[in-house]
Amino acid sequence: MINEKTMVADALTGLNGELKMFGDMIPQTENPQLKSVLKQIRNNCELSQEELYEIAREKQYYVPAQKASPQEVAHVKGLFTSKTL
């Protein structure tokens, strides 16, 4: 029997996969109308993912990783602003 926590995790995994798929498809689409429709679908998918993520956090089905320290943030920023990436 599948419990609620498993169903939420599976749904989040599916939504994350769809978001990746749209991220791959949108830049490869030449048709402006299709691109616009795909972006709208992606935006709706993002809203669903955020809503489900909040539910998972409230029910403690998902515990996010510890926040990065200011030093860690600065280090990563430096990687992206330097020419040695």
Tens digits of residue pLDDT in 39-84: 999 999 999 999 999 999 999 998 888 999 999 999 999 988 877 6
Query: Quick check: 15 pLDDT over 60?
Result: yes
Instruction: Count Cβ atoms within 10 A of the Cβ of residue 26 and give its class: 0-12 exposed, 13-18 middle, 19 or more buried.
Output: middle
Query: Would you state the pLDDT for residue 63?
Result: 83
> What is the C-alpha separation between 52 and 34, in angstroms, rounded?
27
Query: Would you state the pLDDT for residue 2?
Result: 80
Structure tokens belonging to residue 73: 């943030």
Query: Would you state the pLDDT for residue 19?
Result: 96
Query: Quick check: 85 pLDDT over 70?
Result: no
